[in-house]
Amino acid sequence: MIRKSSVLVLLIALAAGSGSLLAQSLNSGLRGPTPLNEEGPAPPMTPMRNTSEKEVRNYPEQPPVIPHSIEGYQIDINGNKCMSCHARARTGESQAPMVSITHFMDRDGQFLASVSPRRYFCTSCHVPQNVVKAPITNDFVDIDTLIGRTAPGGQR
Amino acid sequence: MSTADPASPRRSWLARLWNFIVELWDVLRRPSSVFGLGVLVFAGFVAGIIFWGGFNTALEITNTEKFCTGCHEMKDNVFAELKTTVHFSNPSGVRASCPDCHVPHNWTDKIARKMQASKEVWGHLFGTINTREKFQDHRLELALHEWARLKANDSLECRNCHSAESMDITKQSPRASVAHQRFLFTGEKTCIDCHKGIAHQLPDMKGVPGWQ
């Protein structure tokens, strides 16, 4: 008798729990108010940032982001469109920044004559930026800001 | 019934054809004794419209995207690649189809290009690029032909739509604006010098000027 009633109580609790779960509308910044078992509308596509103005890196090791559109740029075994401007020999005409010298190094730190094969696919690390409003907030602060929070005249 | 009859139909077809040509020539070189001059002039006029119009209509049919992609070589390779580019679909809904870039719009040049294209018919019949692999093997050669053609005519087919005069550089990205002012407006370079591979995938670019 006791077992039967406890099972009943458990069932009621489960039903109530699942009911409240289903009724609850999840509101995540990325998903929006769409229920988990449904697919929400796709957000509109946004244009690529195309100002060509260098963006400040958030930390020294960050691969610089691409400040221009790279739509249709081919990077494959046949050719690398990025290198048409960013290769050492092309920078005079293009006035684009040269690929970093670190990209000429193989993995043993030996410098090669041209860009190392392991660095060939630019977009593995360097990405263009789209004009979007960030859907979630981010409280990242760079190291200079962090250090700058110390009192004036404090230790560097 | 007699085998010795000289007018028997045993004469070769070549001789009979020659006879026909001679008779036809005799008719053609004599003035007409049946039709009036006006009838002949009018008939000539109507026939001219039909033949000339028919010729140009046929020419126009060979100048459509549908005709170009009628061969699988075009449909599965270059046309498939075009579909991802801005010349196929874009915000304003204007499409540059095959002949807009690959056939001169000027009549004489168009006829010259159409005659060159007979080589492409040969290539189709003998399967020069009838697989993706064969096409890839020939891609550089084919691309070099088109680059040379556009370089020689100062990118005429590009300029049929894009002209330096109507280019609003203030609406362009800073990068494009600077490059066009430095190289296009001064005539130092022509469109194809920088804009290779905008409508189709590139071949092996090793050794191509401006590429690594």
**CATH number of the domain at A83-148, please?**
1.10.1130.10
| Res A16: pLDDT | 54
Q: Is the dihedral of CA A13, A17, A22, A25 positive or negative?
A: positive
pTM above 0.80, yes or no: no
Residues of chain B in Cβ contact (below 8 Å) with chain A? 84-86, 173-175, 178-179, 194, 197-198, 201-205, 208, 210-212
pLDDT(B211) > 80: yes
pLDDT(B106) > 80: yes
Burial of A84 (0-12, 13-18, 19+ CB in 10 A): buried
- Grade residue B1 by pLDDT with cuts at 50, 70 and 90: very low
Q: What is d(CA A42, CA A62) in angstroms, rounded to the nearest whole number?
A: 30
What are the tens digits of pLDDT across the range A128-150?
999 888 878 889 988 888 887 66
b/e sequence B113-152, b meaning 16+ C-beta within 10 Å: eeeeeeeeeebbeeeebbeeeebeeebbebbeebeebbee
How many other C-beta atoms lie within 10 A of the C-beta of residue B190? 19
| Res A103: pLDDT | 95
| Res B8: pLDDT | 55
| Res B187: pLDDT | 94
Best mutation target among B84, B85, B175, B183 (most A Cβ atoms within 10 Å) is: B175
Q: Tokens at residue B164, please?
A: 């330096």
Measured between beta carbons, the chain A residues lying within 8 angstroms of B208 are: 79
What are the tens digits of pLDDT across the range A8-25?
555 565 555 555 555 455
- This complex has an ipTM of 0.74
Question: A45 with A129: CB under 8 angstroms?
Answer: no
* Residue in B175, B194, B205 nearest the CB of A79: B205
Q: Are A83 and B211 within 8 A, CB to CB?
A: yes
Question: B192 with B202: CB under 8 angstroms?
Answer: no
Task: List the beta bridge partners of residue A80.
Answer: A75
- Grade residue A89 by pLDDT with cuts at 50, 70 and 90: very high
DSSP code string of B162-185:
--STT--GGGS-HHHHHHIIIIIT
Helix, strand, or coil (residue A32): strand
Best mutation target among A78, A84, A112, A114 (most B Cβ atoms within 10 Å) is: A78
Q: What is the mean pLDDT of residues B116-132?
A: 92
Q: What is the mean pLDDT of residues B150-159?
A: 93
* Residue in B198, B203, B208 nearest the CB of A72: B198
What are the tens digits of pLDDT across the range B180-190?
999 999 999 99
> What residues does each domain of chain A span?
1-38, 83-148
Give the residue among B179, B161, B212 at the shortest CA–CA distance from A68: B179
Residues of chain A in Cβ contact (below 8 Å) with chain B? 50-53, 68-69, 71-72, 74, 77-81, 83-84, 87, 89-90, 94-95, 114-115
To the nearest whole percent, how much of chain B has pLDDT over 70? 95
Q: Are B173 and A51 within 8 A, CB to CB?
A: yes
Measured between beta carbons, the chain A residues lying within 8 angstroms of B179 are: 94
Task: List the beta bridge partners of residue A105.
Answer: A111
